[in-house]
Amino acid sequence: MLRNRLKELMSERNLKASRVANDIPNLSRNTINTVANNKGKMLQLETINSLCEYLEISPSDFFEYLPFDVDIKISTDEETSVTIADPYTTSYGMESFFLNLYITQKRNSQLSGYNSQTFELSILSPNRITFEHDKNFTDETKYSPDKIIYVWDVVIGNPPTEDKFAEQKAAFLNFWNNELTPGFQTMIQEEIRSKIIDFFNNEVIPNTEFLNWKSFYFRLNYRFDNSIYDFKNYPDGKIKIASTDFLDVPF
């Protein structure tokens, strides 16, 4: 894995992207932000050279490297279930659920060959999420979430592998605490969030266009001291959305 340290280097020097862009004519503020967030897949040598010269560092100070790669996958055990109610539904509820989170550490060396290990985690949405209809109850109005932000827990373990949990926990904590630097931990956390957004965009939102997902925000709480088995009634590994209340309509 390879990442640049531009964000940390700028922070150490109290530099803003706009100031760096002003001082380096051939780099735009958008380019600096893209590089600092490790978003771009291609980083030109000219850009690296300009930044290293400006910050008075060597490329070895600019980059951080670990001798392995990490893959992240998110899935559910079953397809999303959506129950479309009659037009007098006043709210929809998305029941508590968990997502499978698989983090795979991969090494491919000329001398030792290829090997990998996969860590099983879960992303928990512990409470029902309610989408309320607008009071005017017009057909054009979508159902909006009842909270500004939701907190989902990332925990170790994934049903039904409870018998392997102790071994999994020890291996994952060693990987997370001893093999990753804080910068790579942050990068993986950002990738997990991005994968969740991709999952909802591909698997959930296309079937629930009547819900106002633009007003839906979530925050991840990493609870590596807990496992999914600490939650006695952990939710199903399936996203279920159905009507919860109806408008009283005289017939």
- Walk across the sheet containing 144-145 and list its strands: 81-82, 240-246, 89-94, 129-132, 144-145
Please provide residue 221's backbone torsions phi and psi, each rounded to the nearest 5 degrees.
-110, 110
Report the mean per-residue pLDDT for the chain: 86
pLDDT value at position 90? 77
Structure tokens given for 77: 């055990």
Higher pLDDT, 132 or 196: 196
Q: Indicate whether 155 pLDDT > 50.
A: yes
Q: CB burial class (10 A; 0-12, 13-18, 19+) of residue 239?
A: buried
Contact 235, 96 (CB under 8 A): yes
Average pLDDT for residues 13-23, to the nearest whole number? 95
Q: How far, CA to CA in Å, does 137 sit from each of 89, 210, 250?
A: 9, 13, 15
pLDDT value at position 85? 61
**Dihedral angle of Cα 201, 224, 96, 135, to the nearest 10 degrees:** -70
Between strands 144-145 and 129-132, the pairing is: antiparallel
Contact 40, 34 (CB under 8 A): yes
pTM above 0.75, yes or no: yes
Q: What percent of the chain has pLDDT over 70?
A: 87
Average pLDDT for residues 43-61, to the nearest whole number? 96
User: CB neighbours of 24 closer than 8 A, spacing ≥ 6?
Assistant: 50, 51, 54
Average pLDDT for residues 50-74, to the nearest whole number? 97
Please provide residue 85's backbone torsions phi and psi, each rounded to the nearest 5 degrees.
-95, -175
Higher pLDDT, 160 or 123: 123
Please provide residue 199's backbone torsions phi and psi, each rounded to the nearest 5 degrees.
-60, -50
Q: Give 240's strand partners.
A: 81
Between strands 240-246 and 218-227, the pairing is: unpaired
pLDDT value at position 28? 94
pLDDT in tens, 217-239: 999 999 887 777 666 566 777 78
The single-letter DSSP state of residue 181 is: -
Q: Indicate whether 211 pLDDT > 70.
A: yes
pLDDT value at position 250? 40
User: Is the backbone peptide bond immediately before 160 cis, with ω within 30 degrees of 0?
Assistant: yes
pLDDT value at position 248? 43
pLDDT in tens, 77-134: 888 888 766 556 778 888 888 899 999 999 999 998 999 999 999 999 888 888 887 6
